[in-house]
Amino acid sequence: MGQFGTEFCDHFAIARFENNTWSSASIEPLRPLSMHPASHVFHYSSTCFEGFKAYRWGDGKARIYRLPEHVSRMQKSAASLHLPIPDAELLASMVKDLVAAQIEDIPAPPSSLYLRPTLIGTLENIGAAAAPSSEATLFVLASPVGDYFAGGSATLKLLVEDQRARSTEQLGSTKTGGNYAAALGPTLAAKEQYGVDQVLFCPNGDVQETGAANFLVIGDDEIITKPLDTTFLHGMTRDSILKLAADNGYTVSERNFTVDELLELVKTHEAALSGTAACLSPVGSLVYHGKEIKIRDGGPGPNTEKLRKALQDIQYGLAPDTYGWLTEVG
Q: What is the mean pLDDT of residues 130-140?
A: 97
Residues 120 and 233 in one domain: no
Q: Which domain holds residue 272?
A: 156-316
Q: Which pLDDT score is estimated for 178?
A: 93
171 within some domain = yes
Catalytic residue among 175, 291, 306, 309: 175
d(CA 232, CA 224): 16
Q: What is the mean pLDDT of residues 158-168?
A: 93
How many structural domains comprise the chain?
2
327 within some domain = no
Residues 108 and 253 in one domain: no
Q: What is the mean pLDDT of residues 152-174?
A: 89
pLDDT grade for 122, boundaries at 50, 70 and 90:
very high
**DSSP letters along 201-252, please?**
E-GGGB--EESSSEEEEE-SSEEEEPPP-TTS---HHHHHHHHHHHHTTPEE
Residues 185 and 98 in one domain: no
Residue 113 CA to chain centroid, in angstroms?
14
| pTM for this entry | 0.95
Residue ending a domain, among 103, 118, 145, is 145
d(CA 131, CA 125): 10
Residues 163 and 306 in one domain: yes
pLDDT grade for 169, boundaries at 50, 70 and 90:
confident
Residue ending a domain, among 126, 145, 164, is 145
330 within some domain = no
Residues 6+ apart with CB under 8 A from 306: 248
Residues 6+ apart with CB under 8 A from 267: 296
CATH number, domain at 247?
3.20.10.10
Residues 252 and 289 in one domain: yes
Residues 194 and 286 in one domain: yes
Tens digits of residue pLDDT in 222-263: 999 999 999 999 999 999 999 999 999 999 999 999 999 999
Residues 207 and 252 in one domain: yes
Tens digits of residue pLDDT in 35-87: 999 999 999 999 999 999 999 999 999 999 999 999 999 999 999 999 999 99
1 within some domain = no
309 within some domain = yes
Q: Which pLDDT score is estimated for 2?
A: 74
Instruction: Indicate the DSSP class of residue 284.
Output: E
325 within some domain = no
Residues 93 and 169 in one domain: no
Of 188, 190, 184, nearest in space to 158 by CA? 190
- How many CA atoms within 13 Å lie on the side-chain side of 303? 25
Residues 31 and 50 in one domain: yes
Q: Degrees (nearest 5) of the Cα angle 212, 129, 187? A: 20
pLDDT grade for 4, boundaries at 50, 70 and 90:
confident
pLDDT grade for 278, boundaries at 50, 70 and 90:
confident
Please say whether the beta carbons of 65 and 55 come within 8 A.
Answer: yes
CATH number, domain at 84?
3.30.470.10
Residues 6+ apart with CB under 8 A from 250: 218, 219, 221, 222, 223, 303
Residues 6+ apart with CB under 8 A from 37: none
Residue 56: its H or E element: strand 52-56
d(CA 95, CA 321): 20
Residues 43 and 191 in one domain: no
Tens digits of residue pLDDT in 48-60: 999 999 999 999 9
Residues 92 and 185 in one domain: no
Residue ending a domain, among 91, 126, 145, is 145
Residues 56 and 113 in one domain: yes
What size, in residues, is the chain?
Answer: 330
6 within some domain = no
329 within some domain = no
Residue 149 has pLDDT above 70, yes or no: no
**Prior bond of 37 cis (ω within 30°):** no
Between β-strands 136-145 and 156-161, what pairing exists: parallel, antiparallel or unpaired? unpaired
Does 175 participate in catalysis according to the annotation? yes
